[in-house]
Amino acid sequence: MSRRVDGHLARKRFGQNFLTDERIISAIVAAFAPVRGQNVVEIGPGLGAITRELLAHLGKVHVVELDRDLAAALPIRLMNEGELIVHQSDALKFDFRSLATGPHSLRVIGNLPYNISTPILFYLLSQADVIADMTFMLQKEVVERMVAEPGNGDYGRLSVMLQYRCNVEWLLHVPPESFSPAPKVDSAVVRLTPHTTARHSCHDEQRLQQLLTAAFNMRRKTLRNALKGLIPAEWLDEAGIDAGLRPEEVSVTEWVALANRLATQDQGKNDPT
């Protein structure tokens, strides 16, 4: 059943759960630490709970809101709070580079719909050259996977791909009762800071994705068996990686090294003799 929150009917198809806990709102904004003059865009402002706090610190904020009713109501709701620029758009199609003033000049914050949170993360990373950092509220289980380290059961393809591109930090836990309507899951706030200088130089990200998909689709098998047919077992020995390890025990650096070896082999095959 849909629920009306502060005059707005929360739409299930948009994954709308509105943050209402003032203590949590203040904690999120404090962790984000906005400074006047910074270029900030909020994804999914909803009823403007975080937006209001951002305007108080920044004076000017861009927001990207899919819901036409919310996008139309927000300037009225936050009238005289500051300069609010509303982009009524799907965040998965919006050109975030259009808001940037230079490399790594854009800060992003938002309460992401849980059903499309991972696609939004990777869409934003495709524009990481203009993004300074991203602070998001997501389903707690997703954040646990994002920050997981090798050897942890939550460590997987998402962990490797995000940590390859960013520094990932868990900021705070958000219980269901902080929202209206309350979701059935706990939430958490995470910060992603794209690396301005590559810590792991990957020659071909598609090859990295291919390796991770193959390995973590059979995460209970050893690397020797999970990657059979994709890479020779001797590559693992040459990289100093125990072929008896499971995929969740291999570091980001090691995964990138294997992907680079695979990409180098591809290049050798394609070079004219």
Q: Cβ(68)–Cβ(88) under 8 Å?
A: yes
Domain residues for 212? 205-268
Count of domains forming the chain: 2
Q: Is residue 54 part of a domain?
A: yes
pLDDT digits (tens, 9 = 90+) for 188-209: 999 999 998 877 789 999 999 9
Q: Is residue 273 part of a domain?
A: no
pLDDT digits (tens, 9 = 90+) for 147-183: 999 999 999 999 999 999 999 999 999 999 999 888 8
For residue 209, with 0-12 CB atoms within 10 Å meaning exposed, 13-18 middle and 19 or more buried, which class applies? middle
Q: pLDDT-based confidence at 97, cuts 50/70/90?
A: very high
Residue 220 sits in a domain of what CATH number? 1.10.8.100
Domain stop point among 153, 169, 194 = 194
